[in-house]
Chain A
């Protein structure tokens, strides 16, 4: 079982999330350096973080007909929702809060990103940014339902929406093993709500950056950080949902959580580089015709298993 509510976890959880996100950024930078034929090393890995001081000295942006309040709200929502989502993600034996509806909380925070990115695209009153915003909605229509069925599969298997219960219910056999489809749909969902790699459609190069095209300075930093924080949060959540949480032989449970999270994070960073952007017009078709039926069948499997137990 997980222990919830220690006061220091409230500081540790966001801190750990930031560290994980930073590791993902550094790892991606190393792979970038390799592809570009630059020297692969620590110096190259930390170079993206020069963007932080750069963002802090940059002038904020003003546009002729911007909707400043909504723009800022959207930009802030993305990283804040990512941090809030980790409140229910257990790490080893610890978690900030373990409510009976933990899975729903995580999902609700993720859906907040919809509003956040849409507003971030709408706010500057610029065509490419606006198109980027509604691209995310189209993408959301495609990824959200398979993702929810994946979450439901795990919850059905454990007969609980409490994340701690789900991790504990995988005693001996990980859900990733007997619900591989749900696991795959979940990982695709993680890339989609962090709008990275094949799901970078709202921030596409063909839109000169889309939702990221008009933001500069601290706003840009927040939105970019939001992407990587979401990736880290999604990777961390995959561990209790599908990989048995902190359970494992030999090592303490926090170490197992860390190892598993890093492996999932590494896998996501690698996959994100291996695929071109999947445009929503093609992905919606695939998602509704293939993925949704498959994930529904997948959710049926644990339901039937539990009924006959």
Chain B
């Protein structure tokens, strides 16, 4: 009796998927999230928890190394697949499951489609050792190993450090204490995080001392990336007639996507799932009457939650004036306040947009805001949001820092997409 084979088959029936969303791959990510939810394949948030690595989006040379690191940190049995477009997601997931099953099943199943890029490694018993092969430890925000600080007085090489890693350096903190500094990058492939954004933190305890934001990764081939959330605005700007209803629908879905992410980061997974489900219903063109009651219930429950408001109050305050000075428009500027006021603004915007989901009038880019602010190809709204981050994050705790980022939810797609690049080149 092949007990291992049976176990592998049973285990492969519900693989845990590490979804690595790449800038420009929002449509792919959405398709994957919808499918994973329908199949009840749980999302893993670190490589340690995952069986299947699904790369969602175009090829980005800059992200190859971080992706490789995620893959290396996954325990066997494991499989890796790549979906470049939304249509490839289903095939990629099926191929991934086949790769995870026992060898007999693997031979019987169709070979993975070339584009899905199936790749399996680590049969039972094949063990890799991580020791010593890791000079830059960490899996890019997926629970990084303790960072090596500015190693002040330590002279490397004299004493043997555990695992060959340098010890954390020390520095004065805001309270005048000398504490270990941890260098912790968030992103570019962190779960519930803007795809491709990298924020480098220096932490003492879990208080953020310094913040650097990296330039977002760009695809080699501009044509591969598209800014999904601002697509109607891009099309309207290029002269194509786009109905307002479509743009409004896209905007409401974008807010629901952001809300889902904020709720996930705030540790309310049940409501996050509801938000994402509503988002997918809106995007699949569900009529207003079908989503309105559920949307109403959702906005009421989240909007009136005193606990959530209590937990997010006073964090990441951006006054309306500060927002204007930083060039931020849209919901973040209109909210003019803390995380609480920003998510309530999203909810209010969704409710306001609800009656217009089927409006056939043509979209005027100058009148309707894109999800993150008035659309301008030269100054995409997300660029201003990202520019706000360093000042807002310094001095916060890690949990609050993640809430701040989630409540602004910049969309790196806007910075790397084809439309933007074309227009900018003029």
Contacts and interface: CB of A to CB of B under 8 A. Distances in A.
Interface of A: 31-33, 35-38, 44, 47, 50-51, 53-54, 56-66, 124-131, 134-135, 198, 200-201, 204-209, 212-217, 220, 273-279, 281-282
A31 B270 contact: yes
B77 interface: yes
Interface stretch (B37-45, B211-219, B373-381): B37-45
B122 A277 contact: no
B346 to A, nearest CB: 16
A58 B75 contact: yes
Given A54-B11, A125-B145, A216 B49 contact: yes
- Which of A32, A66, A126 gathers most chain B CB within 10 Å? A126
Contacts of A216: 48-49, 75
Nearest to B38: A38
A44 B40 CA distance: 8
Given A64-B132, A127-B146, A213-B48, 15 more contacts: A37-B277, A38-B40, A50-B10, A58-B76, A59-B75, A62-B131, A64-B130, A64-B137, A64-B145, A124-B145, A201-B399, A204-B267, A207-B398, A208-B45, A277-B268
Interface stretch (B160-168, B227-235, B326-334): B160-168
Contacts of A56: 7
Given A125-B146, A127-B203, A61 B48 contact: yes
Contacts of B134: 64
A276 B268 contact: yes
A51 B7 CA distance: 10
Given A59-B122, A60-B75, A62-B130, A213 B267 contact: no
A281 B397 contact: yes
A212 to B, nearest CB: 7
19 contacts: A32-B40, A35-B270, A54-B11, A58-B77, A60-B75, A61-B75, A63-B163, A64-B130, A65-B161, A125-B163, A125-B165, A127-B143, A127-B182, A130-B146, A207-B143, A213-B45, A216-B49, A274-B270, A281-B397
Interface of B: 4, 7-8, 10-11, 13-14, 16, 37-38, 40, 45-46, 48-49, 51, 75-77, 122, 124, 127, 129-132, 134, 137, 141-147, 161-165, 182, 184, 190-192, 203, 206, 263-271, 273-274, 277, 305, 307-308, 310-311, 397-400, 402-403
B268 A275 contact: yes
Nearest to B144: A127
B212 to A, nearest CB: 16
- Which of A51, A56, A131, A216 gathers most chain B CB within 10 Å? A216
A129 B192 contact: no
Contact of A205 (B8, B48, B265, B271): B265
B14 A276 contact: no
A64 B144 CA distance: 12
B46 A208 contact: yes
- Which of B162, B267, B400 gathers most chain A CB within 10 Å? B267
A57 B124 contact: yes
- Which of A38, A204, A212 gathers most chain B CB within 10 Å? A204
B302 to A, nearest CB: 9
A66 B48 CA distance: 14
Given A36-B40, A62-B130, A216-B48, A208 B307 contact: no
Contacts of B4: 57
A262 B76 CA distance: 38
